[in-house]
Structures are given as C-alpha cells and as structure tokens.
C-alpha cells in the first residue's frame, strides 16, 4: 500500500479520493498539466496501475486520451499497466485509442499520452491517470 500511496503522491492525486471511471472523456474537456484539487475531494479518474514486489522487474503504466475531430465530440481514454518499459506501454495505449475510435466510426484528431516506469528494488508501483476534475 505504501508504494501505491507514494505513486499517487508523485502523480499529484495522493490527497484525494479516487473514483475509478471507465474510458470516456466528456465533450468539451480541457487539458490542464497540473490540477489544483482540494484535499479529500471525490475525483473521477481513469488510471492504470501495477504494484510489484519482484526485485529487478521493469514495470510501466500508461494512459492515452484520444480527442475526437468533430466539434462537440467526446474522447476515449485507455489505460495499461504491465511488465515492460515506458515506450512499450505508450505504444500499447496509443494503439488501443486508435482502435477504440475505429470501432466507434469516429475521426481521431489527437492522442495525448502519459506514462510512468519503475525498476523494482524491493516493492514498487507505477501509476498513470487522467483525473476528470470540473
């Protein structure tokens, strides 16, 4: 639990209550690099995470947001976590977003990706997220 807590703090969401949501970005959502969220707030969030206690393991988590090309289009968020490096995790979530847009018959305008990776010493955690704060 401590590794997960430290990963949340590093991601900037360690002092709020996470409400895990599925993968749809509301129409009109605006990107903010650093959110100022009051401590204790209930925050809808899509995330990928992995805790590992295997010494020497390379772990990564990534999220990708696909933004629709049409005015008023919603977006799609995809999450991934696994035993791999950052680049592999980023590639996987980007491919998932592209596929999600194809399944919906929507035109994809842009993909934003964020990832975290970690080499486990004793116990470690990776966490990548898209908080949906209004």
The confidence score (pLDDT) of residue 103 equals 96
Does residue 42 carry a pLDDT above 90? Answer: yes
The number of distinct structural domains making up the chain is 1
Mean pLDDT of the chain: 95
Q: What is the pLDDT of residues 50-80, one digit of tens each?
A: 999 999 999 999 999 999 998 888 999 999 9
Confidence of residue 33 (pLDDT cuts 50, 70, 90): confident
Q: What percent of the chain has pLDDT over 70?
A: 100
Residues spanned by the domain of 122: 2-131
Catalytic amino acids?
17, 22-23, 79
The confidence score (pLDDT) of residue 51 equals 97
Q: In a 10 Å sphere around its CB, with 0-12 CB exposed, 13-18 middle and 19+ buried, how is residue 122 labelled?
A: exposed
Sheet hosting strand 17-20, strand order edge to edge: 17-20, 42-52, 124-131
Cα separation, 115 vs 133, in Å, equals 20
Q: Do 63 and 39 contact (CB within 8 A), yes or no?
A: no
Structure-token pair, residue 129:
């997220």
Instruction: Check which CATH number belongs to the domain holding 125 and give it.
Output: 3.50.20.10
* Look-up of token digits 């639990």: 1
């Amino acid at each position: 639990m401590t590794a997960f807590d430290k990963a949340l703090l590093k991601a900037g969401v360690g002092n709020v209550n996470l409400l895990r949501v599925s993968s749809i970005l509301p129409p009109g959502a605006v990107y903010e690099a650093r959110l100022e969220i009051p401590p204790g707030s209930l925050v809808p969030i899509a995330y990928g995470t992995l805790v590992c206690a295997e010494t020497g393991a390379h772990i990564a988590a990534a999220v990708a947001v696909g933004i629709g090309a049409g005015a008023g289009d919603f977006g799609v968020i995809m999450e991934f976590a696994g035993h791999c490096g950052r680049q592999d995790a980023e590639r996987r979530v980007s491919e998932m977003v592209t596929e999600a847009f194809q399944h919906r018959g929507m035109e994809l305008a842009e993909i934003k990706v964020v990832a975290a990776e970690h080499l486990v010493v004793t116990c470690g955690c990776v966490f990548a997220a898209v908080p949906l704060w209004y």
